[in-house]
Structure 1
Amino acid sequence: MRTRLSALAILLAVASPALAQQDAASCAALRDTVLSAAHVRTARVVEAEGLPAYCEVRATALPAINIEVRLPLEGWNGKYYQAGCGGFCGILGRADASGGWVNAMRPGLERGYATATSDSGHHGLSVVDAGWAHNNPHAERDWGWRSIGETNRVAQALIGTFYGSTSEQAIFQGCSTGGRMAHVAAQRYPEMFDGIISGAPAMDYTGLVATKMAFLVQANTAPDGSQILGPDEAKLIGDAIYEQCDGVDGAEDGFIADPRTCEVDYSGLGLTNQQMDTLMKWREGPRNAAGEQLYPGGIPEGSEPFWWLWLTGNAEGGGKLVPAFVTNFGRYMAFAADPGPEWSPLDFDMEADPARLAMMAQVYNGDSPDLSAFREAGGKMIVWHGWADSIVTPYKTVDWYEKAAEAAGGEDVLKENVALFMVPGVDHCGILPGPDGINAASLDPMSPLEAWLNEGTAPASIMAE
């Protein structure tokens, strides 16, 4: 069993033999647990349909990281499962409300793990609300990295108090921002987690949410402020993509196996020159005036059915989350000195502003290809990404993996600890159903990770059986 920071944390909790009993009384008694730089707020037994009865503990790690820990009353497998959060987070346990597994504690709890998650250090009205970060470097630090370690520390202390020992194995799972957290965990806390699942990782928040998303908004904004590509154009373009590229991989199955192999003739679609210019910019990704690529790749072919949620909106006024994310990130999070509520993505300067993101990149980002400390600790990591992701470009994940392989001394070496799965037809984190209904429910990275950790069997697939 690896030594973790959490092993020290248990020394900070006051435990007694009575608290080791796994029943309602011992759950309630956790309210009196003494923690260093943290306190327990509530502890209660929860019996939820489809889940084992568990002790739900709400705690706060100072100054403001709200944490939820779920401890099975019976059948604890001796292990720990920590979940990330999506967007700018700020809503404790949000992922579990949907019943899915992405960024949720449910997968761990169903398998007997003690589980935990956090709001990453602030309360937000929605996952695109970033007002909490305005001139608040402590909250930005907690969101960037500290909440990962503090959630683990507090959870392990409560686990030790409740069961009488800390966990013998620890797993982290997250997608999008949760995927960023997964990469940050591997780099900042290389011995904390034995296994890590990273989905659609927004590992470079400054490059992705500031530079790339500002570029996408600018490219789709006409001089009069109107939107150039909308939901009608998205469908037109998407239909052409699938007609011309579906069979490139040798099978007409509704999936674009790899958008890099897709070459499309748009000449018969009736798009205006302005619309074509926007489309080509979206495909290429952000560049400066000299034509230098500022972020790896653009929006992949095959992602058009999902554009309404992320890029163009729909006829009912829903979607367009990319403009919302970049607007709030730029106002309150991206720069060392926050420009505030008057800032717009149209204000982002592709020549000067990317360099101004460097300080906050150190706080948020987890895209370093150097996983040497995590690999030396024996950690195993599954990274997955949908090829049809139009908000967190899959090209960045491929680029990171290739650089990580080079840094490790070759892909064969990296594969001993890291497995990458690029999944055709899958939207960002599998939120919306793709061809044949494929979405997050079609995937199961947990089972192969467990087999890798416990049996030494390298993962061959993450598709659910």
Structure 2
Amino acid sequence: MPRERRTMPVTGNKRRQRDSQPQPCRFVVRQAVWLASSASLLVLCCATPTPSRAMSCRSLLELRLEQTTIFSAELVDSGKFVPPRMMRRASAEFFTAFNTLPTFCRVRAVARPSSDSEINIEVWLPVAGWNGRYLGVGNGSFGGSINYYRLGESLHSGYATSSTDTGHRGLPSESAWATNHPEKQADFDYRAVHLTAQTAKSLIQNFYNSAPTRSYFASCS
């Protein structure tokens, strides 16, 4: 009679020893997959183009915009901006540390959507450290001046920013400018802020070669 082959059962200790043995084939496969994935990520990273600046600050003067004329575009070195004489601060929290501002491109423009319109606009574009966002800032009551406090605050936080005098000059409490001037009333109501935002976004696109990822407007009265 043929001899019966007996199979010895594998005990728990031996099974654990066998399972704990190195698995060279599995390790090599995993390592190869990891290296291939890393190489793919490296190629993708290196292949991503870095946006180049489309226009210099000075060359923004050449930009042609509908209803708006750019009359000044200049680089302001870090800490060198001196604000013009401004209205008294409405709040002690308003930004005043202009000597800490980074280098930026200061663009000034005027919009004339009607024969009785003269909307002054300022757009500040940080040369380095732009956060990719645009923040338009308003002014209180009846406006009447560029809000340099909020411009400085926004620039200091990394935003490309803008402000307008809303189409007239004067103290926030003055309203005589509106008498018998329906076009100036329209400028104050909506056109000034709208044209300022349009101007700022065009400048951002041409200066950074990129549109802002987010756009905001901040104001109170």
TM-score (norm 1): 0.30
Q: What displacement does 1:123 show?
A: 1.7
Selected match of 1:105 from 151, 172, 184 = 151
Higher relative contact order (CA 8 A, sep 6+): 2
Q: Does the aligned pair in 2 maintain the 1:56–1:69 contact within 8 Å?
A: yes
Q: How does 1:25-424 map to 2 (within 5 A)?
A: 26-47=56-77, 48=79, 49-62=99-112, 63-93=117-147, 95-96=148-149, 104-124=150-170, 126-176=171-221
Q: Does the aligned pair in 1 maintain the 2:52–2:208 contact within 8 Å?
A: no
Q: Does the aligned pair in 2 maintain the 1:61–1:154 contact within 8 Å?
A: no
Q: Does the aligned pair in 2 maintain the 1:75–1:112 contact within 8 Å?
A: yes
Amino acid at match of 1:52: P
Distance across 1 between alignment mates of 2:187 and 2:74: 27
Amino acid at match of 1:59: A
Are residues 56 and 75 of structure 1, via their aligned partners in 2, closer, same or farther at CA, if it must alter by over 3 Å? Answer: same
Q: What displacement does 1:37 show?
A: 1.2
Are residues 171 and 18 of structure 1, via their aligned partners in 2, closer, same or farther at CA, if it must alter by over 3 Å? Answer: closer
The structure where strand makes up a greater share of residues is 2
Q: What displacement does 1:107 show?
A: 2.8
Q: What displacement does 1:129 show?
A: 2.2
Q: What displacement does 1:149 show?
A: 1.2
Q: What displacement does 1:19 show?
A: 6.1
**Which residues of structure 2 form unaligned runs of 5+?**
1-50, 80-98
Q: Does the aligned pair in 2 maintain the 1:79–1:170 contact within 8 Å?
A: yes
Q: Does the aligned pair in 2 maintain the 1:44–1:57 contact within 8 Å?
A: yes
Selected match of 1:20 from 47, 54, 73 = 54
Q: What displacement does 1:137 show?
A: 0.5
Q: What displacement does 1:50 show?
A: 1.2
TM-score (norm 2): 0.62
Give a deviation string over 1:345-404, Cα, whole Å, max 9, x none: xxxxxxxxxxxxxxxxxxxxxxxxxxxxxxxxxxxxxxxxxxxxxxxxxxxxxxxxxxxx
Distance across 2 between alignment mates of 1:51 and 1:61: 27
Give a deviation string over 1:197-235, Cα, whole Å, max 9, x none: xxxxxxxxxxxxxxxxxxxxxxxxxxxxxxxxxxxxxxx
Distance across 1 between alignment mates of 2:135 and 2:166: 16
1:58 aligned counterpart, secondary structure? strand
1:121 aligned counterpart, secondary structure? coil
Q: Does the aligned pair in 1 maintain the 2:122–2:146 contact within 8 Å?
A: yes
Q: What displacement does 1:109 show?
A: 0.9
Amino acid at match of 2:74: R
Q: How many residues align?
A: 147
Distance across 1 between alignment mates of 2:215 and 2:67: 22
1:106 aligned counterpart, secondary structure? helix
